Chains A and B, each alone.
Chain A
Amino acid sequence: MATHQEIKESLMCFLDNYQKNERLKIMNRDWNRVISILVRDNQSQFTMVLEKGVLEIKEGAAQNPDLTVEADSEVLADLFYGDITPTEPYINGTLKILGSEEDILRLDFISLLIWGE
């Protein structure tokens, strides 16, 4: 099981890579979303806020999120460090994403554009 601190560090790594990706910031200029991240096995909660292409990550629960990402700590840490892609865990159900299908697909694109290849 990954600790709260490990997940936080993986999210910071994700954020760092997002910040370096100018193309992705341009792509997300029109997509303002609040994404809640729920860690099943250690009760940690984080919130991602995307606004006008700028991504922020905070500790704690989100109010009225547009998307909720839920998985065990190991899956989430692996995902945000880019050790795994979201597709397989999403398909096999170990990663649950609640939201519109369009938003889920777009979130998938973002992850792949950060970590792809």
Chain B
Amino acid sequence: MKNVVSVSLGSAKRNHIVETELLGHKFRISRIGTDGDFERAIDILKSLDGQVDAIGLGGIDVYLVVGEKCYTVRDGLKLMDAVNKTPVVDGSGLKNTLEREVVLSLAKKGGFFKPGTKVLMVSALDRFGMAEAFEEIGCLVTFGDMIFIAGIPYAVRTVAELEELAAKLLPEMVKLPFHMLYPTGKKQETVDRERAVKFASFYNEAEVIAGDFHLIKRFLPEKLHGQVILTNTTTEEDVLCLENAGAGCLITTTPELHGRSFGTNVMEAVLVALMGKPVEMIRSQDYLDILKQLNFSPRIKYFSSEYVLQAT
């Protein structure tokens, strides 16, 4: 049996274990949250090194790929450096391939995203593949990085401006403690009510809300009006939360395993374990090829027959 573990800076409440079979291989996939405890995460990573088939790093990014540039998050790299023998990934490989493909395929075959569809990506610098795909389709996208990361009510509307801001901000931002940029630990369990109210109009104006689920949840207004949510890392409780808030439909880019959509880091670790190839030798096409073999498809869950964006 292949053993894949995700070590996350997120809440331990979201821990989960599943056993499944993929391409004839049995897998045990588990997730260990450390409630934002960085040192504990390092200790766990060291104890797993050489003992499991692949490790995913959750609740943190290591590599932010924006266009032709790749920015390395200092705290993420510290975690990665704690592992010497086992392949370790952060999900960035899949974000740049699977998520881009999911958006394009849902637009082409599912009729979900059409030119002119109003999309809010709560953050795009960590999901540049998805951002480019929405723009390629002709969606009217609001990239919410300035809004939801820095609290600056400034909507970025083009990938070009996003890249320009990334070039100015990311070389320095990646040096900051990660908790300043992203909700870790217990913050993942609470809504920032003040900012959720302040920035509710960005959610209200959108037909599609896409991106990191912890960010979507942290700034979620009390009421949605049938929007499509495109994300991953959702638990059954999260699905219920979205349904109760009034979301029209939930699409998760990673497949459901026993009622749970795992993060891209977990799925990337699974793919790495399947390929059995050194991580540094894996290219985007390798991910696409194996995803095709696995026939992974996004999970679509409708909450209401009157959701805002009617698929055709």
Indicate whether A116 sits within 8 Å of B167 (C-beta atoms), given known contacts A27-B146, A91-B176.
yes
A113/B175 contact (C-beta < 8 A), A27-B146, A105-B180 known: no
Residue of A nearest to B177 (CB): A91
Which of A85, A104, A109 interacts with B152 by CB under 8 Å?
A: A109
| Distance A29 CA – B154 CA, assembled complex (angstroms) | 10
> Once the chains bind, are B172 and A106 in contact (CB under 8 Å)?
no
Contact A91 B151 (CB under 8 A): no
Q: Is the CB of B176 within 8 A of A109?
A: no
Q: Is B278 an interface residue (CB 8 A)?
A: no
Q: Are B152 and A27 in contact (CB under 8 A)?
A: yes
Q: Which of A29, A106, A112 contacts B151 (CB 8 A)?
A: A106
Q: Are B180 and A112 in contact (CB-based, < 8 A)?
A: no
Residue interface bits A36-59, CB-to-B below 8 A is 1, else 0: 000000000000000000000000
Chain A contacts for B146, CB-based, 8 A: 27, 109
Tell whether B22 is near chain A: CB-to-CB under 8 Å: no
**Chain B residue with the shortest CB-CB distance to A113:** B168
Q: Are B168 and A112 touching (Cβ within 8 A)?
A: yes
Known: A87-B175, A91-B175. A102 touches B168 (CB 8 A): no
Cα distance A87–B173 in the bound complex, in angstroms: 8
Q: Which residues of B contact A85 (CB under 8 A)?
A: 172
Contact across chains for B176 and A87 when beta carbons are under 8 A apart: yes
Residues of A within 8 A of B165 (CB): 113
Please determine whether B150 and A105 come into contact, CB atoms closer than 8 angstroms: yes
B180 touches A113 (CB 8 A): no
A39 to B154, CA, bound (A): 32
Contact: B150 with A117, CB < 8 Å?
no
Chain A residues within 8 Å of B176, by CB: 87, 91, 105, 108
Q: Contact mask B148-163 → A, CB, 8 Å, 1/0? A: 0011111000000000
| Inter-chain contact A116/B168, CB cutoff 8 Å | yes
B123-174 interface with A by 8 A CB criterion = 146, 150-154, 165, 167-169, 171-173
**Which B residues, 163 to 213, have Cβ-Cβ distances below 8 Å to chain A?**
165, 167-169, 171-173, 175-176, 180-181
Report the minimal beta-carbon distance from A14 to chain B, rounded to whole angstroms: 16
Please determine whether B167 and A117 come into contact, CB atoms closer than 8 angstroms: yes
Q: Is A30 an interface residue (CB 8 A)?
A: yes
B198: nearest residue on chain A (CB-CB)? A30
| Cα A30 to Cα B180 with chains together (Å) | 21
Question: Which residues of chain B have a CB within 8 Å of any CB of chain A?
Answer: 146, 150-154, 165, 167-169, 171-173, 175-176, 180-181
The 7 closest A-B pairs by CB, nearest first: A116-B168, A87-B172, A27-B154, A27-B152, A87-B175, A85-B172, A109-B150
Instruction: Mark A residues whose CB is within 8 Å of B.
Output: 23, 26-31, 85-88, 91, 101-102, 104-106, 108-109, 112-113, 116-117
- 5 contacting pairs across A/B (C-beta < 8 A): A28-B152, A91-B176, A104-B180, A116-B169, A116-B171
| Further 17 A-B residue pairs, CB within 8 A, beyond A108-B172, A116-B167 | A27-B153, A27-B154, A29-B153, A87-B173, A91-B175, A101-B180, A105-B150, A105-B151, A105-B180, A106-B150, A106-B152, A109-B146, A109-B152, A109-B169, A112-B169, A113-B165, A116-B168
